[in-house]
Amino acid sequence: MKIRAAQGTTIVLFALVMGVFWGTWFSLSRTMDRLSGETFVAVGHQMIQNLGAPMAVLLPIALLSALVTLVLLRRAGQARAFWWLLAGFLLMVAALVVTLAVEVPIDNQIRDWTAATLPADWRSTQSRWELFHTVRTFLSIAAVIAATVSAAVVARPARREELTQASRAAAG
C-alpha cells in the first residue's frame, strides 16, 4: 500500500511538472518566434513571474517523491518497477539540468530586458530558449511515461509469490 501511494504521488507530481512544460511549449513557445520584441518581453516577464517560484518548489518535491518511491521499491524487491522509475527519475533530473544550466540563465537575461533595451540578437536567445524548452518538455514526458510503466509493472504480493515459486521450480 505504501508503494502504491508513493508511486501515485510521484506520477502526479511528475505529471504536474510535465504539464507546466508541455502547456507552455504547446500553447506558446512554438510560436514565440512570431511575436514582436515588445510582446516577447512582456510575455517572457509574465511567464518568469508566474512559473519561477512554483517550479523551484514543485520539481524538487517531485524528485524527492521519486527518491522515496525508489527506496520503497528497492526494499520490496520490485526490480522491474525500480528500474523503470529510476529511468523516469534520471529523465526528470535531465530536465532539471536543462532548466538550471540553460533556461534559468536565459530567463535571468530576459528579466532585465525591456522593449527599448532588447539586444540586437534577442531572436537567437529566444530560439535557444525554445530549443532547450522543447528538449526538457520531451524529457519530462518520457519521465512520466517511465514512472507510469513502473507503477504498472509492480508485482502484486500474490503474483510475486507465484513468480518466486515458479523460478524456484525452474531452478530446482
Q: For residue 11, what is its C-alpha cell?
A: 506520477
Calculate what percentage of the chain has a pLDDT beyond 70.
92
Q: Which residue has the cell 509492480?
A: 154
Domain coordinates in residue numbering, the chain: 2-171
Cα angle 98, 104, 107 (rounded to 5 degrees) comes to 130
Residues with Cβ within 8 Å of 105's Cβ and at least 6 positions away in sequence, in order, are: none
The string of pLDDT tens digits covering residues 134-150 is 999 999 999 999 999 99
Residue 141: other Cβ atoms inside 10 A = 18
The string of pLDDT tens digits covering residues 67-101 is 999 999 999 999 999 999 999 999 999 999 999 99
Residue 4: other Cβ atoms inside 10 A = 13
Q: What count of Cα atoms within 13 Å lies in the side-chain half-sphere of residue 4? A: 5
Amino acid at 88: G
Distance from the first to the final alpha carbon of the chain: 32
Q: Which residue has the cell 525500480?
A: 82
| pTM of the predicted protein model | 0.86
Distance CA 4, CA 75 (A): 14
